[in-house]
Amino acid sequence: MTTIIDVARHAQVSTATVSRTLSRPDGVRKELRERVLAAIDALGYVPNRAARSLRTQSASKILVTVPDISNPFFANIIRGAEEVAREAGYGLVLGDTRYEAALENQYALMLRRKEVDGLLFLGPHLPEVLEPMVNAAHGSAPVVNGCEYSPELRVSSVHIDNAVAGADAADYLLSLGHRHIGIVTGPLASPLSRDRLQGVRRSAERQGAGDSIRVAHGDFSIQSGFDAAAGLIAQSDVTAIFCFSDEMAMGAIEAVRRAGLTCPDDISIMGFDDIRFARYLNPALTTVAQPSIAIGKEAIAMLLQIIDGEQIAPKDNTLPHELIVRKSTARMMPR
C-alpha cells in the first residue's frame, strides 16, 4: 500500500510538505505543490483520514447547523462550505436545528466531545452549551457564524450588511412612488430581521414616509408570507410589500392573487435572498441577492484558520449584496 513516505520520496520532498499539500495547499509553494500532486496521481495514493485523526486528535469533520434545512437559501451556503472543507481534507456533518434550542445544544455537544473539529452555525443563537468554551477562548474557539452577525455572539462571522440591504430595498420601492409599504419580517429574535427592519425604517423616515410603513411578522416560510401579506392587504392600503425572504414573497404573491388583485399592477412584491426559484416565478421576483456560496466558502475558510491556530480574535467579514430588479415590482399607478 502506498504511504505518505512513498509520495515524499517520489516527489523528492519531505513528508511534512506532502502533509501540508493535503491539508493546506495554499501554504505550499506552487512548484512543490505540483510535484506532490503529480506523485499522488502517479502512485495512486489515498490519504488515510482515520489514521491522521488518531495522530493529530483531529476528527477531520466540521459541523454545520442549519435552522431550516428545507429553506433553499441554505443549500448554496452548504455547497460553498463543503467545497472549501473538502479541499482542506475535512468532511461536513449537517444538522437541522429547526430553530429549537434543544437541537442546537444537542448538535453543539459534538464539538464539546471532539467528534468534530469546528462548528459553522447559520442560526441566530450561539448554542448555550458552547458559551463557556467561547468565553474561555476569547475569540479563538473553533466556532463561526454565517449570516446572523451580532457582536453579542462573540464569534467570527460572515454576512452581508442587512441594515444597508433593507434600506436599499426600501429606497427602491420609494423611488417607484410607493409610500404605503408593507413589511413582512422574519422572527425579530434574529439579528438580520432586526437589522433589515431598521434599514427600512431609516430609509422611509429619510424620505418622509416613516408613518406609512406597515409591519407584519413571519418565520421565513411560504405560509407565513401568505398569512402576513393577506393581513396587510385586508387591513391597510399597501401598494408594495417587501418580504425578508423569497419564500415569504412567494406566499405574498399568492395572497395578492387570492385577494383578486394582480402583481405588480395592484401591489408590487419584493423578496430577499435570490433563491434559484425567484427568477422563474410569475411574475419573476425582484429581490435582494445574498452571495450565499461565498458566505459558505468564507465561513469555512475562517473556521479553518481558527482550527489551525492562525486566528486568535473574532473577525467579521461583510460581503456585498445586490438588488435584482425583475417583474414583480413596478411604478405605483394612480388609484
Q: Looking at residues 189-216, what average pLDDT do you find?
A: 96
Query: 17-26, 201-210, 217-226, 240-249: lowest mean pLDDT where?
Result: 17-26
- Are residues 130 and 189 located together in one domain of the fold? no
Residues 168 and 275 in one domain: yes
CB 262, CB 248: distance < 8 Å: no
Question: pLDDT: is 277 or 6 the higher one?
Answer: 277
Based on the domain organization, do 259 and 298 belong to the same domain? Answer: no
pLDDT of residue 19: 76
| pLDDT of res. 1 | 66
Does 325 map to a domain? Answer: no
298 and 153, same domain (yes or no)? yes
d(C-alpha 201, C-alpha 46), whole Å? 56
- Can you tell me the distance from the alpha carbon of 204 to that of 224, in angstroms, rounded to the nearest whole number? 24
Asked if 156 and 300 sit in the same domain, the reply is: yes
Give CA separation, 154 vs 130, 143, 189, 301, in Å. Answer: 11, 10, 17, 18
Enclosing domain of residue 258: 162-289
Pairing of strands 286-289, 322-324: antiparallel
Mean pLDDT (the chain, rounded): 91
H/E stretch holding 267: none
In a domain, 140, yes or no: yes
Same domain for 102 and 15? Answer: no
Q: Coil, helix or strand for 264?
A: coil
pLDDT at 155 over 60: yes
The answer to whether residue 212 sits within a structural domain is yes
Q: In this structure, are 171 and 269 located in the same domain?
A: yes
CB atoms within 10 A of CB 181: 26
Judge if 284 and 174 occupy the same domain. yes
Note the pTM of the prediction, 2 decimals: 0.82
Q: Do residues 182 and 284 both lie within one domain?
A: yes
Least confident range from 5-19, 70-84, 184-198, 265-279: namely: 5-19
User: Is 333 contained in some domain?
Assistant: no
CA distance 206 to 49: 57
The tens digit of pLDDT for each residue in 29-74 reads: 888 888 888 888 888 876 654 444 444 456 789 999 999 999 999 9
Q: For residue 8, what is the domain's CATH number?
A: 1.10.260.40
Task: Provide the CATH number for the domain around residue 189.
Answer: 3.40.50.2300
Q: How many domains does the chain have?
A: 3
Asked whether the CA dihedral 174, 176, 182, 184 is positive or negative, the reply is negative
Q: Which residue has the higher pLDDT, 7 or 221?
A: 221
Mean pLDDT is lowest, of 120-129, 238-247, 268-277, for 120-129
The dihedrals phi and psi of 116, each to the nearest 5 degrees, come to -135, 160
Q: Is residue 334 part of a domain?
A: no
Same domain, 15 and 122: no
What was the pLDDT predicted at 202? 97
pLDDT of residue 47: 63
Q: DSSP assignment of 95-157, as one string?
A: EE-TT-HHHHHHHHHHHHTTSSSEEEE-SSS--GGGHHHHHHHTT-SSEEEES---GGG-SEE
146 and 74, same structural domain?
A: yes
Task: Write down the pLDDT at residue 30.
Answer: 84
Name beta bridge partners: 156.
Answer: 144
How many beta carbons lie within 10 A of that of residue 56, not counting itself?
Answer: 12
Assess if residue 31 is contained within a domain: yes
In a domain, 328, yes or no: no
Per-residue cell: 265: 399592477
- 268 and 298 fall within a common domain: no
Report if residue 327 sits inside a domain. no
Over pLDDT 90: what percentage of the chain?
69
